[in-house]
Amino acid sequence: MYQAAEMSLWTGRIDTEEPAELSYRLHQVVQSLSPVNEQQSDALALIGFCCDEGVRRNRGRVGARKGPDRLRRALANLPWAADRPLYDAGNVICLGHDLEQAHLELAERVCHCLSAGQLPFVLGGGHEMAYGSWLGLINHQQSLAQSQSWVQAELPRIGIINFDAHFDLRLDSEGGSSGTPFYQIAQQCQALAIPFNYCCLGVSKTANTAALFQRADSLGVSYRRDAEMTLLQLEQTLQQLQLFIDDCDLIYLSIDLDVLPASVAPGVSAPAARGVGLEVLEPLIQQITQSGKLKLADIAEYNPEFDIDQQTARVVARLFHLIANGALRR
């Protein structure tokens, strides 16, 4: 089900003592996406995915369905210096256990924003949303191909970069879940005869079975373990990431918050014992935004039920600020 933006969530401080043009915050500039402004290009469009049905199916800790609106409150006070519009495109809500319909509705919203020339930024919600996000992107690309008479070989190469402690490549024999989205994407790529370009950074050896590592290898996944992502190894990680970026035309960036240490991000469905620090994650994200190839982004698995003093929400706000400003200032 689609729910229009609730603009009353966007409240915060107003710095009247400072020059207005230098002191804007998100709550002062965000607009509800409506028929009047939905075709405004070069903008960022926030979409909430209020769903943790995939987490439930994956036997995880539910609560992430409440994440998007809680995160809007955390984003509201962020300083905003970008000169491009920021829209709230509302929420996609999973009714009951119908994850599959929620995927289709999210794909429709993402595709709509992309068609308007906007950068969709999806707030979760469980990581099952990755499949819906990707569907929206591939639907948009196929629509472009049809309208411009592209041949299959001319379709842009879409690269998926996922910061995550888990591959999320579980088999979907019992239906999709928060553990299956990238396997579902791989299956769709095979059906469409297009490459599956997937890079997973921050993988935990203790959170993925040998079968999942084997599946990642068989699918040609580029990955790096959390233990290999320290400041001492940052240069090697940046090089690996750049090689992946260079081989792609468009980038879909997905961040599962469980890639971070539990001490940094306690409000997640599956907290990490080790994780990757922000001091490593942030330069990698900057490298992605500076490439000029970012087409879609999402942040998954924020679970306010387990957050401590909004600590994880503040981390999300920081990551959003980094991505949005990096992408919109190009």
Mean pLDDT of 179-200: 97
Instruction: Say what the pLDDT of residue 151 is.
Output: 62
Q: Is the peptide bond before 277 cis (omega within 30 degrees of 0)?
A: no
Q: Which segment of 14-18, 133-137, 227-231, 310-314 scores lowest on mean pLDDT?
A: 14-18
H helix intervals, the chain: 26-29, 53-57, 67-75, 99-115, 129-148, 181-192, 210-218, 234-246, 278-290, 311-328
* Per-residue pLDDT band at 328 (split at 50, 70, 90): confident
Mean pLDDT of 152-168: 90
* Per-residue pLDDT band at 152 (split at 50, 70, 90): low
Asked if residue 330 has pLDDT above 60, the reply is: no
* Per-residue pLDDT band at 20 (split at 50, 70, 90): confident
Question: pLDDT of 23-50, one tens digit each?
Answer: 889 999 999 987 666 667 889 999 999 9
Question: pLDDT of 48-86, one tens digit each?
Answer: 999 999 999 999 999 999 999 999 999 999 998 777 889
| In the chain, domain spans | 2-328
Written as one string, the DSSP assignment of 128-159 is THHHHHHHHHHHHHHHHHHHHT--GGGS--EE
Question: pLDDT of 284-325, one tens digit each?
Answer: 999 999 999 999 999 999 999 999 999 999 999 999 999 998
- Please state, for a pLDDT cut of 90, what percent of the chain lies above it: 83
Mean pLDDT of 272-277: 94
Instruction: Say what the pLDDT of residue 64 is.
Output: 97
Of 196, 198, 119, 124, give the one whose Cα is nearest residue 161: 198
Instruction: Say what the pLDDT of residue 16 is.
Output: 81
Of 224, 220, 237, 228, give the one whose Cα is nearest residue 286: 237
Structure tokens at 310: 């909004």
Fold adopted by 2-328: Arginase; Chain A (3.40.800)
* Maximal C-alpha separation, the chain: 59
Question: pLDDT of 93-122, one tens digit each?
Answer: 999 999 999 999 999 999 999 999 999 999
Instruction: Say what the pLDDT of residue 35 is.
Output: 66
Q: What is the pTM of this model?
A: 0.96
More confident residue, 174 or 264: 264
Instruction: Say what the pLDDT of residue 154 is.
Output: 73
Contact present, 120 and 47 (Cβ < 8 Å): yes
Instruction: Say what the pLDDT of residue 263 is.
Output: 96
Instruction: Say what the pLDDT of residue 148 is.
Output: 76
